[in-house]
Amino acid sequence: MSASNLIDCTFSNTDLEKKPLTVNHRLVETGLFDDEHLIRILDTHPRDCLNVHTMGVDETSNQWREGDASTLSGEQLLNATKAGRLWLNVRNMADHHAEFTKLINDIYDEIQAKTPGFNALERSANLLISSPRALVYYHLDIPCNMLWHMRGVKRVWAYPPYNERYVTQQKVEDVICGVSNEELDYQPEFDQEAMVVDLQPGQMVTWPQNTPHRVSNVEGLNVSLTTEHLTPKARRRIKLFRANRFMRHTLGYKNLSQNTEGLDYGAKVLAYSVVRAWQKLFPKKSEGYYYPVTFKLDPSNPAKIQDLAK
């Protein structure tokens, strides 16, 4: 039985795997998301697990930037976010704040208890604190995620999942293998088929693994918790896409199946695991993908973006 009653679990496990959806929740009643708590989190969270971003105003032109706010206190950083155009990503909350470790487990334990067939492995969460007009460009995430909204209003677009028009299979493979970042090519006409929701405090939005999505804040300081997990099927999908990318680029295969069951899946993943074991004997330095730090925030004028010399 579930110990908590935080979520109106009006969905089935099949719904979670097939389509974007929203439900109501009561996470804000925990009291963990008021200014006092946010300042304490920002003051105590390891700064190398806290990304500070700014961005442009046009959702069709990606101008995502990474900044340095290492000299700002938690209060200054929160006030800068209220006044400026910032997106704070406070990563790995479960590793650094015991009350969030409990909350994240309560969330997933409750969903598991109420949703037969749902099993959330490798649970984690990032706290998102963002300015009233901040936005996040069209992108996908590798694990499954759920966006629990607490404060402010944000408009969320979730696009049709598993659809080559919105992101190609090859691009998903590249993102999963770390050779491409998570941002995708966006075209405004995609919006015609999107699920669009103005997310209010007390609502959660989720979508199937790797579904393209984007966000524009509408009003107020926005505070959300984005939880991430892998189901057994999601784990298989990641393994499959790694194997498929190897077969596509090294062996020249095309039209690779996305089926995460059966003999074909098993054979591909087994063959790729042998290749990986061989490659680990001769490791190559992974290139990865990161944003250069191109601006800083100064305590004397925290909301002002100060460009760093190139």
Stretch that binds Fe ion, among 45-53, 106-114, 134-142, 299-307 (CB under 5 A): 134-142
Residue 183 or 298 having the CB closest to Fe ion: 183
Q: DSSP label at 261?
A: S
In angstroms, the Cα distances linking 196 to 61, 161, 174 are: 20, 14, 27
Among 245, 249, 226, which residue's Cα sits nearest to residue 237?
A: 245
* Residue 148 structure tokens: 């629990």
Residue 94 or 113 having the CB closest to Fe ion: 94
Q: If binding is defined by CB under 5 A, does position 183 make contact with Fe ion? A: no
**Buried-state track 240-262, b at ≥16 Cβ within 10 A, e below 16:** bbbbbbbbbeeeeeeebeeebee
Q: How far is the CB of 213 from Fe ion (least distance, A)?
A: 6
Q: How far is the CB of 181 from Fe ion (least distance, A)?
A: 12
Q: How far is the CB of 145 from Fe ion (least distance, A)?
A: 6
Q: How far is the CB of 291 from Fe ion (least distance, A)?
A: 15
User: Helix, strand, or coil here: 307?
Assistant: strand
Residue 68 or 183 having the CB closest to Fe ion: 183
Q: How far is the CB of 238 from Fe ion (least distance, A)?
A: 16
Do 69 and 45 meet the contact criterion of CB atoms below 8 Å apart?
Answer: no
Q: Which distant-in-sequence residues (6+ apart) come within 8 Å of 232 by Cβ?
A: 119, 121
> Any idea which residue has 């499959």 for tokens?
240
Residue 176 or 297 having the CB closest to Fe ion: 176
Give strand pairing partners of 291.
Answer: none
Q: How far is the CB of 62 from Fe ion (least distance, A)?
A: 14
The one among 17, 141, 174, 298 contacting Fe ion by CB under 5 A: 141
Residue 8 or 141 having the CB closest to Fe ion: 141
Residue 17 or 141 having the CB closest to Fe ion: 141
Count residues near Fe ion (CB under 5 A).
1
Residue 75 or 141 having the CB closest to Fe ion: 141
Residue 125 or 247 having the CB closest to Fe ion: 125
Residues 230-269 that bind Fe ion (CB under 5 A): none
Q: Rounded distance, CA 147 to CA 188, Å?
A: 23
Q: Rounded distance, CA 196 to CA 175, Å?
A: 24
Stretch that binds Fe ion, among 24-32, 135-143, 251-259, 272-280 (CB under 5 A): 135-143
Q: Which distant-in-sequence residues (6+ apart) come within 8 Å of 122 by Cβ?
A: 143, 228, 229, 230
CA angle 229, 231, 237 (to 5 degrees): 105
Q: How far is the CB of 185 from Fe ion (least distance, A)?
A: 16
Q: How far is the CB of 137 from Fe ion (least distance, A)?
A: 10
Instruction: Select the residue whose beta carbon is closest to Fe ion and give its number.
Output: 141
Residue 204 or 297 having the CB closest to Fe ion: 204
**Buried-state track 25-64, b at ≥16 Cβ within 10 A, e below 16:** bebbebebbeeebbbebbeebeeeebbbbbbeeebeebeb
Stretch that binds Fe ion, among 140-148, 158-166, 167-175, 187-195 (CB under 5 A): 140-148
Which spans of this chain sit near Fe ion (rule: CB under 5 A)? 141
